[in-house]
Amino acid sequence: MKLSEEQVRYVAKLANLNLTQAEIDRMVQDLGSVLEHMDSLAAIDTEGVEPMTQVLYQTEETATLRPDVERAPLANEAALANAPAAGSGYFKVPKVIER
């Protein structure tokens, strides 16, 4: 499956990813060759096969449940320590609503 430049731009928009024109040209070529290989999957018969959504092994169904007990959350200050912009205990981002 080849991808058009228009499709690449659409996917980049879905992914919130800004790409330069050079990057888009390269994506058209690279994604095309990878998707071509991926199309080989159509040849394998998977009739009646359940999709494997996670690794399964012999275990009880409740094995991954934990007791419902309180645990101290990350302190506000620690959570904000890496924020590019913060104030009054919150993350700050560019304005989304005009007054």
Partner 1 sequence: MTADSIQSIREGLLRKEFSAVEVAREALVFAERENPKTNAFLLFSAERAVANAERVDARIAAGEEPGLLAGVPVAVKDVILTKGLRTTCGSRILEHYVPPYDATVVERIEAAGGLIIGKTNCDEFAMGSSNENSAFGPVRNPAAPDRVPGGSSGGSAAAVAQKTAVISLGSDTGGSIRQPASFCGVVGVTPTYGRVSRYGLVAFASSLDHIGPFARSVRDAATLLEAMAGRDPLDSTSADAPVPNYAAHLDGHVRGMKIGVPISYMRHALGETYELIDKAIRRLKGLGCELREISLPATDYAVAAYYIICTAEASSNLARFDGARYGLRSAASATLSDMYHNTRGEGFGPEVKRRIMLGTYVLSHGYYDAYYKKAQKVRALITRDFTNAFQSVDAIVAPVSPFPVFRIGEKVDDPMAMYLSDIYTITGSLAGIPCMSVPCGTTNEGLPVGLQILCNHFHEQQMFRLADAFERR
- Compute how many residues bind partner 1; rule: CB under 8 A: 55
Instruction: Please identify, using beta-carbon distances, which residue of 57 and 89 lies nearer to partner 1.
Output: 57
Place of tokens 């890496």: 82
Helix (H), strand (E), coil (C) string for 10-64 = HHHHHCCCCCCHHHHHHHHHHHHHHHHHHHHHHHCCCCCCCCCCCCCCCCCCCCC
Residues that bind partner 1 (CB under 8 A): 3, 7-8, 11-12, 14-20, 23, 26-27, 30-31, 33-35, 37-42, 44, 46, 49-55, 57-59, 63-64, 66-67, 74, 78-79, 81-85, 91, 93-96
